[in-house]
Amino acid sequence: MILVPHDIDQLKANLWIAAIDTNAPPQNLSVILMPGQRSIGLPRENWRSVTANEALKPELRRVFIQTVPITNLQSNTTYEVSIKEGTKARFSTLPTVLPQEDERPFTVLLSSCFYQGNDQEGRIGRAIKLLPENLKPSVKILCGDQVYLDLPATEEFPDNEAWLAENFLKKYILTWGQTDGYQTLLETGGTYFTADDHEFWNNFPNWATLINNTWKEEGRDRWKKVALALYEDFQTDDPSKAGHPRRFNIGVLSFFIADTRVFRDGGDRNFMSQADFEQLQQWIKGLKGPGVLVVGQPIFHEPEGWFSGRFGDRSLSNYKQYKDLVHAIFQAEHSILVLTGDVHFGRVASCELKSGPRPVELIEVISSPSSLVSSLVGGKAADAPPKFPPETIPGLVQSVTKTIYKTAEDHFATLHFTERAGRVRLQVRYWFHKNKNQGAVDCRVLDPMDL
């Protein structure tokens, strides 16, 4: 059994549950909620078989999932849920307002790019367990590349839906089922997943150089059909939410979690559907306080050149929609904090959008990788481009950027929000889990910033 808390608000939480390697849906199971010893039944008829959009052979349909809503909760309260065989998860409901500076902060964990093959000993799970209690996350944002479906790059992937479904499902089970490893991360705090290219294939939705069954549209369609179905099953608590924005507020602090991959167009036009992008523009325009924007790739990033943009992966700044996003950001009346991943290094950088007694700033926090896939595609951290936007856009004056911190080690980040003298205060910590010392996890604490 695997438990993953998903969307959480002040009074309710959605708990995703999977039963792995079973011939039939479980019967007579309940979730126990603590404190209170409340028993919540799991109706047998609510279990749904993972079929990878009917591509998985019937004899391999041995994973069953369901989402159970847990209601009548108290705000800003930590709960533990458990099921048979000792499987447990914990989450904290959202506070109605931000804590004061001397109180336990509202904590968000940010992570991306986890390759289970390079963390088979479960370092990330050990690091999560070693987090101080007052710094454990209420919410985590897993910002793409939770699995690498397109590896190994040298493998010949048959252009066959049944084969793809069987092998992709194995990769999900291997990652989600890593007891005391990645599973520990999944079980800790509410979860917002977003996709990036390796939930599909490198450079999705465009063709990938090394994967010959993405070279033609019909091959890409078959791969996407299987990969998207598994993403919907494993990384959402409701398939209809996949790829669409999620939002929540804590007092004046507003979160907008965008997916810039699922509905990305082939070519260079859009990285979000137009309807979802219009929601993002309206969110920026309507901010009453600082905003936290989650995207799948950095905003402080120069466009990829012709070669790397076609044989590697395009960045957001390669897309025409990026210019519209930059225009919307420059019109913001409140500071925006961008959370992202993808690039195989961590970084904090900023620029000033509007000057004044209370300047409007754009701050970007990158957390990548949590487990580097290969030294061939990582190991070096880059400064932000010297100006934002990195290339001139008519009607805008470029702003000078400042790189505050960078790292290329395997890590995850936590962001701690409090209120101080009417301002939102942010402190960022980077946690490193490469060393195998069982008694500690290394941490780099950055200076607080006011949003």
Question: What would the pLDDT profile of 31-90 be if each residue is shown by its tens digit?
Answer: 999 998 899 999 999 999 999 999 999 999 999 999 999 999 999 999 999 997 678 999
pLDDT at 383 over 60: yes
Range of the domain at 342: 94-450
Question: What would the pLDDT profile of 323-355 be if each residue is shown by its tens digit?
Answer: 999 999 999 999 999 999 999 999 999 999 999
Nearest to 198 by CA among 80, 82, 116, 308: 116
Report how far residue 349's alpha carbon sits from residue 340's, in angstroms, rounded to the nearest whole number.
Answer: 12
pLDDT at 111 over 60: yes
Who's near 260: CB < 8 A, 6+ residues apart?
Answer: 194, 271, 272, 295, 296, 297, 316
Is the residue at 2 inside a domain?
no
Mean pLDDT across the chain: 94
Report how far residue 114's alpha carbon sits from residue 235's, in angstroms, rounded to the nearest whole number.
Answer: 14
Is the residue at 250 inside a domain?
yes
Helix (H, G, I), strand (E, B) or coil at 140: strand
Does the reported pTM lie above 0.75? yes
Is the residue at 442 inside a domain?
yes
Contact between 419 and 105 under an 8 Å Cβ cutoff? The reply is no
| DSSP-H helix ranges across 119-190 | 123-130, 161-176, 182-187
In one letter, which amino acid is 21? D
For the beta sheet containing 88-92, the strands, ordered from the edge strand earlier in sequence to the opposite edge, are 38-42, 29-34, 78-82, 88-92
pLDDT band at 23 (very low <50, low <70, confident <90, very high): very high
Q: What is the CATH number of the domain that holds 375?
A: 3.60.21.70
pLDDT band at 439 (very low <50, low <70, confident <90, very high): low
pLDDT at 149 over 60: yes
Is the residue at 222 inside a domain?
yes
* Token duo for residue 74: 């108290």
State the helix-helix crossing angle for 274-285 and 320-330, rounded to 10 degrees.
10
Is the residue at 370 inside a domain?
yes
Contact between 259 and 195 under an 8 Å Cβ cutoff? The reply is yes
pLDDT at 306 over 60: no
Domains identified in the chain, total number? 1
Is the residue at 213 inside a domain?
yes
More confident residue, 435 or 219: 219
Is the residue at 170 inside a domain?
yes
